[in-house]
Amino acid sequence: MTVCIAALINWAYPDKQIGRAVIAVADRMLTSGDVEYEPPQLKIAFLRKRFVALVAGDIATHSEALTFTQRSLAGEPNDDVEAVAELYAKALRGIRRQRAIQIWFWNPSASIKTLSLRSRGECFRNLSMI
């Protein structure tokens, strides 16, 4: 189980200003089957100077989504929290969608436009649900 916690606090900055700050903590334990270990990799990702993401779940999926998000942000200095969160969510949806297609519908001779939803008993009626 991953532990991620965060708290919003008032903070005294070096210039004597009082402002908001977030304290974020996450464990490093990864589990694969029955094996648990703590790699040096953090479950906290630094997206911008003032933005961090805490991740839980499939670390490979999150790593791919974080890489996409960080590369996208490098070209566009966006400091809108909602826009950055949506960019990360979009990356996660895209990765999960592609993996679902590969698992349930993949036919090497077909393109995504020609996939038959009936090929696996119509488990999804619409790819946009993924």
Whole-prediction pTM value?
A: 0.68
The predicted structure's pLDDT at residue 129: 47
Q: What is the pLDDT along the chain (130 residues), one digit of tens a residue?
A: 778 899 999 999 888 889 998 899 988 888 777 888 888 888 888 888 788 899 888 888 999 999 999 998 887 777 888 989 999 999 999 999 988 888 887 666 655 555 554 444 445 544 544 4
The predicted structure's pLDDT at residue 113: 53
Contact 34, 25 (CB under 8 A): no
Give the contacts of 124 (CB within 8 A, at least 6 positions apart): 100, 104, 117, 130
71 to 45, 46, 64, 67, 84: CA distances (angstroms)? 13, 12, 11, 6, 12
Distance of CA 9 to the CA centre of its chain: 25
Q: Residue 2 forms beta bridges with which residues?
A: none
The predicted structure's pLDDT at residue 93: 94
